[in-house]
Amino acid sequence: MDTDGPFAVSIDITPLGRLGRPEEVANVIEFLLSEKSSFINAQVVFVDGGYLAVDDIAKFEYEESKK
């Protein structure tokens, strides 16, 4: 995984403060393929460490603070 440029900004903005590990994504896929997820229907599961929870204004303010 790349950690330069845009990825470095993503890491700084993401609430968990790091990129996800492949096994973390695999864990979600394994769960969704299992019987444990049998009542889940028509959902989008974001495995992004909270990145989408950060609003656009916060992202803009972060970018402005780095100038």
Question: Mind listing the pLDDT tens digit of every residue in the chain (67 residues)?
Answer: 555 677 777 788 888 888 889 999 999 999 999 999 999 999 999 999 888 888 777 777 777 777 7
CA 47, 52, 54, 58 dihedral sign is positive
CA distance 42 to 49: 21
CATH number for region 6-65 = 1.10.8
- The gap from C-alpha 31 to its chain's centroid, in whole angstroms, comes to 17
pLDDT for residue 8: 77
Angle at 50 between CA 48 and CA 51, to 5 degrees: 70
Closest CA to 13 of 2, 63, 64: 63
Domain residue ranges of the chain, discontinuous segments joined by +? 6-65
pLDDT at 45: 94
Q: Give pLDDT, residue 24.
A: 96
Q: Please, how many CA atoms are within 13 Å of residue 59, restricted to the half-sphere of its CB?
A: 13
